[in-house]
């Protein structure tokens, strides 16, 4: 039961944070909010994963922060919809740039976060 509650609380916090960032960046006309959320979320989940690979926290902590907070904060479906939206607005180049920043950027930041998480957790790689 603790895991379910932790995921729910984490997801609520992540979702509210995502909404706040989207509201603050709406004026740009470009999906900057989603880009920030997915890149920051990749970094954070990588960091947590690396740290949790060296330290063994309680399962509800891992579930609340990983599945809940990071899952509620990041959004692949909005990334997909924004990509299609940019393309349909005849902004093929903006759509392509969005993809080329989000995918390699997210993977790179997740890896950097993982390595840093392991380092602060006490394991050197």
Local confidence band at 124 (pLDDT 50, 70, 90 cut-offs): low
Q: Which residue ranges make up each domain of the chain?
A: 2-120
Look over the chain and give the mean of its residue pLDDT values, rounded to a whole number. Answer: 94
* Separation CA 103–CA 113 (nearest Å): 15
Give Dmax (Cα) for the chain: 49
* Separation CA 89–CA 125 (nearest Å): 45
What are 66's two structure tokens? 């990983």
pLDDT value of position 37 = 96
- What residue numbers does the annotated binding site for Na(+) cover? 71, 74
Q: What is the pLDDT of residues 52-100, one digit of tens each?
A: 999 989 999 999 999 999 999 999 999 999 999 999 998 899 999 999 9
Q: What is the pLDDT of residues 1-60, one digit of tens each?
A: 999 999 999 999 999 999 999 999 999 989 999 999 999 999 999 999 999 999 989 999
Q: How far is CA 117 from CA 2, 8, 53, 110, 125, in A?
A: 24, 24, 8, 10, 11
* Separation CA 35–CA 78 (nearest Å): 10
- Residues 73 and 14 sit within 8 Å (Cβ to Cβ): yes
- What residue numbers does the annotated binding site cover? 71, 74
| Phi, psi (degrees; rounded to nearest 5) at 114 | -60, -50
pLDDT value of position 91 = 85
């Amino acid at each position: 039961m603790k895991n379910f509650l932790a995921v729910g609380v984490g997801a609520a916090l992540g979702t509210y944070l995502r909404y706040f960032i989207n509201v603050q960046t709406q004026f740009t006309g470009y999906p900057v909010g989603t880009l920030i959320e997915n890149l920051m979320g990749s970094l954070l989940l990588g960091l947590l994963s690396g740290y949790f690979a060296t330290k063994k926290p309680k399962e509800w902590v891992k579930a609340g922060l990983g599945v809940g907070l990071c899952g509620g904060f990041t959004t692949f479906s909005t990334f997909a919809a924004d990509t299609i939206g940019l393309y349909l607005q005849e902004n093929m180049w903006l759509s392509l740039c969005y993809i080329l920043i989000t995918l390699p950027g997210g993977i790179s930041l997740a890896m950097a976060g993982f390595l840093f998480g392991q380092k602060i957790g006490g394991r050197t790689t």
